[in-house]
Amino acid sequence: MNNNLINIVGPTAIGKTSLSIRIAQHFNTEIISADSRQFFKEMKIGTAVPEKEELASVKHHFIQHISVKDNYSVGDFERDAILKLSELYNSHNTVVMVGGSGLYTKAVTEGLDNFPKVDPEIRKNLNEHLENDGIDWLQQKLFALDPEYYKTADVQNPHRLIRALEICISTGKPFSSFLDQEKPQRNFETISIGLTADRELIYDRINRRVDLMIENGLLEEAKELYPNRHLNALNTVGYKELFQYFDGEINLETAISEIKKNTRRFAKRQLTWFRKDESIKWFEYDEDPKVILEFIESKINT
């Protein structure tokens, strides 16, 4: 097997984009983005989409390719990304994938468990409970329906809670009973690279990035999206806090502070997820790219 997938992961604001471009240029290849927040064409500033110059320097796929109004699941991404990789491997032996969405990178590298289709009304009802009763209601419901999955689930992530609950409710079976099925074989070898730093440094980078987003027009971007605030894609950090500000629930200073706090929590969850994967080779965020490239070359040649 000569096909390689260089999988670059790590917490938000750690420097994955610049490293992925450097590696893609070295191998004269293209980049698959596995950042689920950057899929949406209307969400540019709040998701830190790469700059035009960065996108022009290396061909990227799955950045701003759908609308917030589209239903696009991790299963859809797995299908589309595998098709794109099959196409790219016709002309490249090595492809780069980059993103902080752990479930999405795992979908590509390992495959997903198969779940039955769910009535959209169930998801709609659960989202209404989230809005009216808060995340506590979802947590208690999951504990009641699937205590086994509750032990290991990211119970602070409403998307994960709703996904598990909709399966429980639609099938009458625990979500955990659908996990750990036999996964599909991939026609590539994965080399996973993780970027990390001291927690305080990561938090400082996040705080500075949020300030830069506000300077670059995040408020205006969120205003344009406000009429669609009910959409699942917009129930995400950076937008939901500003929607609260528009509703008069909090002031702007508090909204910005909440964005920073919730992004820091998100980064902590990302690290927790990725640290469980023993196949990832970790490097400090400021490591010389040449060192990382030497490691990748050694893995490709062995």
Does 152 count as an annotated binding residue? no
158 is in an annotated binding site: no
Name the nearest CA neighbour of 105 among 197, 232, 3, 194: 194
13 is in an annotated binding site: yes
Q: Is residue 135 part of an annotated ligand binding site?
A: no
17 is in an annotated binding site: yes
10 labelled ligand-binding:
yes
Consult the annotation and say whether 302 binds a ligand. no
Where is the binding site for ATP, in residues? Answer: 10-17
Where is the binding site, in residues? Answer: 10-17
Where is the binding site for substrate, in residues? Answer: 12-17
